[in-house]
Structure 1
């Protein structure tokens, strides 16, 4: 894509949240900026290749130029909040609910986080291609970019993808006034959820390298070999890797994180949503939370709102998965129990089972 952004548009970057840093090319030191309507960003379930279907204008700009543009924007201050999660646990639904009233604006799974998560695995190794200083500068530039608020918005809430949970400490450190929601799910419903699709999602295998390396760095090599894991064992390994990162974040940032269990959220959605909104700095009251959970958002599939999908439909899907996948769910539970016995630094995860 060649540049379609005029110099006048680029000059407005510091105050115009429509100019969105869509993707990084770390090897070529460039950033793809798109001119995205705010409505498109708000409606998007994921800020990935699907937003390109509307053929937005934009173009590549040099990384140094992007950093200079971003440094003209305000520091994040209290403008940013985050959602970190283990995947398949209601994070998109939570992001949409927090945007219901218009004072919260959710950026759902920005691609640059994935690219930085890959790079972070190699920091301080012999093959580190980015370096800690450059890594930190890019993080700070992205934070300033995301913190540019549309009119009427009190908080921009960045919902990370689960694959990027390892970046949470870097993001919170670089935005010290921000707060984060940590969304999790117990092991058994997580296994039933991940094993429900037919065929299984390729995301499990595709994300294993990042997740397993992150876990090995934090807790020691678990000795797993991807090719040898059954579907239930792979789902359990994914849960362990994500739970370990989230538990570590809560342990180091207890005052800045609020942990939410998705099944507990569904049992008391208005109360838990009010807790979440207030934690990230939205001035909600009980009526605002009730209005959000009574809206159509709770009864649509958050990742594809054109489809109906509420708590009752979710319960039916899980019941069907439990019946079809009982053997693999049992394998996953046994695998997780053995892994926690073998890795002492993960013993605290038993409280999450």
Structure 2
């Protein structure tokens, strides 16, 4: 398939945009059929493992062919991480109604470009990516694109470019967020700091720490500040886009998955009844671990794991929650996103 034409790349939605070249004048595509998408945790190189063909094309050639490509409605899931976004994405893979994709790497690439320079050329690169992502796999399907939270910078411009698009803003409370980080041991602590550094590079919420003060933060303090910047961002999106976005707390989704799923499908305009949503919620998707689909994983098991980690780290979690609450109150920042 290495001799695939640009026209074939553009017309076949199995060819996903993957990443822009260093100068932003070429776009690499990766061939990921529908059945493979459902098996992959995320649409990253780490998960492709060299098993999927890649082809590069120039932007001018892509733009010359893009008008002939099919297009469908595209909607988004943005999240604060560790809050059930992968589970929701899998539940929205409904052949004939919607196709979902989990964290296409190209959106992180575009987000990083926008952080460096929010100029017209990078907005045009985002526009081209959206045009390619919104190609349905089957006629009449909508596309649901769940983003990595390292791509949350694209939320505002993407919704401005696609006036008909809707977005779910999925988040957890702080204690759940911290416990979920701690479940992952050292790597969860490292990731918390990475999110903190990523978010403070573009968040309008100015935290006021100098370099020495940042070094003195514990891992969980840094993670809690990353959570706060995301909550603030979601609140700003809710104010800006009103009924086009839906704030959804993960606790509500896990407590009443059928209701949450029906609310999401209604927001996205998908042809799903309350019974359809209830059937999906009672089916195998919600009975498996979202990231390890060969593992049974009930709501009760998730609750037991959360309680065990929470009890083992109770003192640290309590101290960080109190510290962050005081910090947010001092800076006039809400701990819950609201329109």
Fold shared by both chains (TM-score > 0.5): yes
Question: Could you tell me which of 118, 121, 127 is aligned with 1:134?
Answer: 121
Matching residue of 2:105: 111
Name the counterpart of 1:220.
Answer: 206
Q: Are 1:60 and 2:56 matched, yes or no?
A: yes
- SS of the residue corresponding to residue 349 of structure 1 reads coil
What CA distance in whole angstroms lies between the structure 2 residues aligned with 1:170 and 1:282? 23
Equivalent-residue separation in structure 1 for 2:237 and 2:299 (angstroms): 29
Alpha-carbon deviation of 1:41? 1.9
In structure 1, what is the equivalent of residue 236 of structure 2?
A: 248
Structure 1 counterpart of 2:83: 89
The 5-angstrom pairing of residues 109-258 of structure 1 reads 109-123=103-117, 132-152=119-139, 154-201=141-188, 202-215=190-203, 218-223=204-209, 225-258=213-246
Q: Which has the higher contact order (CA 8 A, sep 6+)?
A: 1
Unaligned 5+ runs, structure 2: none
Distance 1:122 1:56 in 2: 30
**Distance in 1 separating the partners of 2:221 and 2:258:** 34
Residues 193 and 48 (structure 1 numbering): CA distance in 2 closer, same or farther, change over 3 Å? same
Q: Identify the residue that residue 272 of structure 2 maps to in structure 1.
A: 284
Alignment check: 8 A CA contact 2:231 2:336 kept = no
Answer yes or no: is the 8 Å Cα contact 2:192–2:220 preserved in 1.
Answer: no
* CA distance 1:254–1:17, change in 2 (3 Å): same
SS, match of residue 66 in structure 2: helix
| 1:310 aligned onto 2:298 | yes
Q: CA deviation at 1:46?
A: 0.4
Q: Is the 8 A contact 1:118 1:210 kept in 2?
A: no
Question: How many pairs were matched up?
Answer: 335
Asked if residue 296 in structure 1 is aligned to residue 284 in structure 2, the reply is yes
CA distance in 1, matches of 2:273, 2:13: 28
Instruction: Note if contact 2:100-2:146 (Cα within 8 Å) is conserved in structure 1.
Output: yes
Q: Partners of 1:73 and 1:351 in 2: how far apart?
A: 37
| CA displacement at 1:350 relative to structure 2 | 5.0
Between 1:26-35 and 1:103-112, the stretch displaced more is 26-35
Q: How far off its partner does 1:342 sit?
A: 3.3
TM-score normalised by length of structure 1? 0.88
Partner-residue secondary structure (3-state), 1:156: strand
Q: In structure 2, do the counterparts of structure 1 residues 203 and 153 end up closer, same or farther at CA, with 3 Å as the change threshold?
A: farther
Cα RMSD of the aligned pairs, angstroms, is: 2.1
- The runs of 5 or more residues in structure 1 that have no matched partner are 125-131
Say which SS state the counterpart of residue 69 (structure 2) adopts.
coil
Alignment of 1:251-270 (within 5 A): 251-270=239-258
User: 1:260-310 CA deviation, whole Å, 9 max, x = no partner?
Assistant: 111111111111111111111111001211110111111111112122222
Range with bigger deviation, 15-24 or 99-108? 99-108
